[in-house]
Structure 1
Amino acid sequence: MEDLIQTIVLYALPVIFAITLHEAAHGYVARVFGDPTATLAGRVTLNPTKHIDPVGTIAVPLGILLMSKLFGGPPLLFGWAKPVPVDFGRLKNPKRDMRWVALAGPAANLFMAVLWAMSVRLLLEAGAGRESFWFQMAVIGIQINLVLMALNLLPLLPLDGGRILFSLLPNQLAWQYGRLEPYGMMILIVLLVTGSLWMFLEPFMALGRWIVQLFL
């Protein structure tokens, strides 16, 4: 039990900040491109309580951590926050600007991974051991943000990668692709359950790791 509590404490801050900044970034960029919906809803904020979903942000990650402790193996954290409301029709150029709003979330996660990497470097230079609490938290922060970045870049609607792909496709193809959105989360769950999700995440993870290494 003590080991589980320590693990929860180590993961809590990186998970909360990863999800919070991801969602706030969507709302901020939407405002820049003309849609104030998230701002008016109070969602362009770093206050975690505005973004936390009781199930996706707390219950599911805690459940995964508990299962990993009971059955062994590294935890593959999976979770979500309350989606930031974006009215794409209010963007200056809805189809074009959609990609920047969508890209803002994964970009925020990459930015946080870099900050955690810089923290690792500073801790090592300060003489902190690799078993120290803050060093372990920084490493976890890198891992969580790279996974969230990669996961959200998958070209599946309603994920951010799906929005980006939709904005890049010609109108007719985009419309046909958009019809697949109701099945996107079902496809994601199948990939997760069958263990093939990592095969699709790895190219994005590899790119993220390469960028993070520049700051270590």
Structure 2
Amino acid sequence: MLWNLEYIVSLVIAVILAMSIHEMAHGLVSYWLGDPTAKLQGRISLNPFAHVDWLGVLCLLLFHFGWAKPVPVDPSYYKDRKTGIIWTSFAGPVANFLLAFVCIFCLILILKLNPLFLYSNLGSLLESILSMTATLNIGFGLFNLIPVPPLDGSKVLFAFLPDEQYYRFIQGSPFFMLVLVVLIYLGILSQPLSMMQNGIWNAFVQICSFLLGM
């Protein structure tokens, strides 16, 4: 029962952190580029209540596919609209990867300074939260880089398209969402995403171990 409770607590914390930092990053970069929309609506915040769509959280917990409240942005404020959209979109996945890196760094630091701490109840819970948060943030960042509208990857990876086609493409359509749902349902994305997730995790571990002299 204790293990189940620890797992549930860790998973809920990881999901909320992943969604909150992802959406906050979108709003923050958009604000840096001159767009005050997210700031005026209180979305440049780590407060989960500002970002979390609880139905999306529930779906992510149950089906490993969820969503947060999209941060409102107004590209008309950007000096270069297309470039602004690309940077704002890229910010969310980058924030997820950075949070995952910090969590892995903290895990390895604990292992170096006091590995016996992880055998305590508190240490076990902390290890579960850090590892779950790192794993889920890597996965969340990768998923959002899939080049299918309305995911961030479609706005980043198709930047080579002419402006008119680019804007029309990233607006998406029900067809794109249907394709995404079918790919998820059939499990076609599971293996490549899992391989990339493991690769990023191992790379972060190696970097952190090197930085900490382990």
Q: How does 1:74-85 map to 2 (within 5 A)?
A: 77-85=64-72
Mapped to 1, the partners of 2:194 and 2:162 lie a distance apart of 27
Alignment length (residue pairs): 203
Instruction: Confirm or deny: 8 A CA contact 1:98 1:167 kept in the other structure.
Output: no
TM-score by length of 1: 0.84
Instruction: Confirm or deny: 8 A CA contact 2:60 2:67 kept in the other structure.
Output: no
Q: How does 1:1-216 map to 2 (within 5 A)?
A: 3-57=3-57, 59-64=58-63, 77-125=64-112, 126-127=114-115, 128-129=117-118, 132-175=124-167, 177-178=169-170, 180-202=172-194, 204-205=196-197, 208-213=200-205, 214-216=207-209
Q: Find the residue that maps to 1:129 and give its secondary structure.
A: helix
Q: Find the residue that maps to 1:168 and give its secondary structure.
A: coil
Task: Note the aligned Cα RMSD (angstroms).
Answer: 2.2
| Superimposed CA distance per residue, residues 96-154 of structure 1 (whole angstroms, 9 cap, x where no aligned partner) | 11110000000000000101101110221211337822112211111101100100001
Mapped to 1, the partners of 2:179 and 2:46 lie a distance apart of 31
TM-score by length of 2: 0.85
- Percent identity for Structure 1 against Structure 2: 34
Write the letter of the residue equivalent to 1:196: I
Change (3 A) 1:7 1:209: closer
Q: Which shifted more, 19-28 or 166-175?
A: 166-175
Please report how far the alpha carbon of residue 174 of structure 1 lies from its aligned counterpart in structure 2 after TM superposition: 2.1
Mapped to 2, the partners of 1:52 and 1:215 lie a distance apart of 30
Write the letter of the residue equivalent to 1:63: L
Change (3 A) 1:15 1:178: closer
Please report how far the alpha carbon of residue 180 of structure 1 lies from its aligned counterpart in structure 2 after TM superposition: 4.5
Mapped to 1, the partners of 2:75 and 2:161 lie a distance apart of 16
Instruction: Confirm or deny: 8 A CA contact 1:8 1:62 kept in the other structure.
Output: no
